[in-house]
Structure 1
Amino acid sequence: MAKIAGAPISWGVCEVPGWGAVLPPDTVLAEMRSLGLAATELGPPDYLPADPAALKALLGSHDLALVGGFLAVTLHADVRSTLDEAARVAAILEAGGAEVLVLAAATGLDGYDERPRLTDDEWATLVDTCARIREIAAGHGLRTVLHPHVGTHVEREAEVERFLADSDLPLCLDTGHLLIGGTDPVDLARRHPGRIGHVHLKDVRGEIAAKVRDGELSYTDAVEQGIYVPLGDGDVDVEALVELVRQAGYTGWFVLEQDTRLGDGGSADRPLKDTARSLAHLGKIL
């Protein structure tokens, strides 16, 4: 039976300062459970309680498991503080019964609209830091995956391929962020079936993704303009992707994600409606 989870970012809860309105955890988790989702990711640092007892109590009150958590940290610099933060988050994830730590190679700048170029030495540090974080996470019973993500140092197709060549860390296959960065997620899954360690399912509008890729539109503005849509409404071949990873033996979670900003006229009802549509589409595929 397929394991399907949600994520707070679909409800507009993001680690970027000033991203938008933030709904209370009880509201977000209750809506996830009302859709029949079995689990959630952790969300931004300290959105859900860091205290183990409080975290377990909150998740238990909504009958949800914890899949893992997204950790965007500078992997190419400030290594000591990065390792300390990874250890802190890994301990929280372990306490919540999670399985996976989802890393992203943050630039060190706020948001995902600027991306300084790395030197070869900084890239080598990035790869080494990933390996060190994997060891820390393994000590907490967690797997570690690297999430190619817009506005990070592993975004474009050449960077994804370079990471696959230089590191043996599995990837979080995020269908939306990969496509925005210029990587066909279905082709990636076909060529590297053994490197898929976690799956974030989202759909995007290809014409807006192209504008982000070409520098015509910032990522923040693209989200405002509706780059993300429910599964089946965009240009990701979700059916082919799901079939490929399952044929390759993937038995992990499918996390429904749709990067959302609330406020400025956005409807607080949208996350529930969009996630319901994505869930219905995925249900037909499965």
Structure 2
Amino acid sequence: MTPSSTPSAGPSGFKVAAAPISWGVCEVPGWGRVLDAPTVLGEMAGLGVHATELGPPGYLPRDPADLRALLGEYGLNLVGGFLAVVLHEDPGAALTAAGESAALFAACGAEVLVLAAATGLDGYDERPALSAAEWATLVGTAAKIRDVAAEHGLVTVLHPHVGTHVETGAEVERFLADSDLPLCLDTGHLIVGGTDPVALAKRYPDRIGHLHLKDVNGKLAEDVRAGRVAYTEAVGAGLYVPLGEGDVDIDAMVGSVHKAGYDGWYVLEQDTALSEESPVERPKRDVATSLAYLRGVLGRLTAG
């Protein structure tokens, strides 16, 4: 198979993609069971998805020719990938990592570098506070990474993410005020961090550069915000559920960005942690449910 010339799993005009994290593939040590790449990519293709984000470093090949060949076996295009790097100290190291990822993404036809402001700690359960100087370095380093990625033809988006230095509502607003980077609007991470993604999209329609679509168990999200449950534990307990089964107004979210002229990717990216006892068919089943729901939402927009 070769990559599809129609990079969509949704109604005409909408670009829908998947991500390995929906199958439990994560960069965090000890996150859970990791399914092999042929299983994950094969199940994506079997669901009618024609594009994916890269997944964590080392999961898929880092050699461009090898990566293109592997994705081509499953008819998948590369959208881009997630890069969590420390932005508030040692900008040189962050720029080196970003340059390597941007070169790989571009060589494989990708469009987006999804950047997160990592703390430098393992996982996403703790966040040390930043000084004003460290915040300024974070913003400046993000801008430099944007410029490096742009040299490779990529757009850089900042991903507000639980357990990073842009997580809470106040931090999202501060970043939007201090930086001109667009956001990756992740409906799940924003809600866990205390931001209404629908309201955010309506306030800043011109700052939405990429979408990660999740649905959320609102009770577990509140437990994480309140510090009663660690993020990793909550994910394992079912924090993210298939689209349409949680407390995110996906219809309003998608309708809002579409009305504002968004023409980027709709990525089904629902963080999953698999135990050894987890049914191996669960990720495919959950993504299929989400994909069917999203197709319905997009179809109604097309019909309207």
Tell me the TM-score range normalised by the shorter chain.
Answer: over 0.9
- The runs of at least 4 aligned residues of structure 1 exceeding 6 Å deviation read none
2:237 — aligned with what?
225
CA distance in 2 between partners of 1:44 and 1:21 (Å): 14
Unaligned runs of 5+ in 2: 1-12, 299-304
2:166 — aligned with what?
154
CA distance in 1 between partners of 2:274 and 2:107 (Å): 30
The answer to whether the 8 Å contact 1:10/1:275 transfers is: yes
1:268 — aligned with what?
280
CA distance in 2 between partners of 1:140 and 1:184 (Å): 33
Give me the identity figure in percent.
67
Q: After superposition, give the CA deviation of every residue in 1:31-75 in whole Å (9 maximum; x if it has no partner).
A: 001001120000001211111110110011100100010000000
The answer to whether the 8 Å contact 2:111/2:154 transfers is: yes
1:2 — aligned with what?
14
**Which amino acid is 2:274 matched to?**
L
2:44 — aligned with what?
32
CA distance in 2 between partners of 1:112 and 1:264 (Å): 21
1:72 — aligned with what?
84
**1:196 aligns to 2:245 (yes or no):** no
2:182 — aligned with what?
170
Q: After superposition, give the CA deviation of every residue in 1:97-121 in whole Å (9 maximum; x if it has no partner).
A: 1000000000000000000000000
The range that moved more, 47-56 or 262-271, is 262-271
TM, length-normalised to structure 1: 0.99
Aligned ranges for residues 240-251 of structure 1 at < 5 Å? 240-251=252-263
The alpha carbon displacement at 1:78 in A equals: 2.1
1:152 match: secondary structure: coil
TM, length-normalised to structure 2: 0.93
CA distance in 1 between partners of 2:104 and 2:37 (Å): 16
The answer to whether the 8 Å contact 2:240/2:271 transfers is: yes
The answer to whether the 8 Å contact 2:236/2:274 transfers is: no
The alpha carbon displacement at 1:264 in A equals: 3.6
1:272 match: secondary structure: helix
Output the aligned Cα RMSD.
0.7
**1:89 aligns to 2:101 (yes or no):** yes
The answer to whether the 8 Å contact 2:235/2:272 transfers is: yes
**Which amino acid is 1:242 matched to?**
V
The answer to whether the 8 Å contact 1:203/1:234 transfers is: yes
CA distance in 2 between partners of 1:263 and 1:235 (Å): 25
CA distance in 2 between partners of 1:98 and 1:159 (Å): 28
CA distance in 2 between partners of 1:105 and 1:276 (Å): 31
Q: What is the aligned length?
A: 286
Choose the corresponding residue for 1:205, options 211, 217, 223.
217
2:6 — aligned with what?
none
The alpha carbon displacement at 1:240 in A equals: 0.2
CA distance in 2 between partners of 1:266 and 1:228 (Å): 15
CA distance in 2 between partners of 1:158 and 1:194 (Å): 19
The alpha carbon displacement at 1:267 in A equals: 1.7
**1:126 aligns to 2:138 (yes or no):** yes
**1:15 aligns to 2:27 (yes or no):** yes
CA distance in 1 between partners of 2:65 and 2:179 (Å): 36
The answer to whether the 8 Å contact 1:3/1:38 transfers is: no
The answer to whether the 8 Å contact 2:106/2:152 transfers is: yes
The alpha carbon displacement at 1:96 in A equals: 1.1
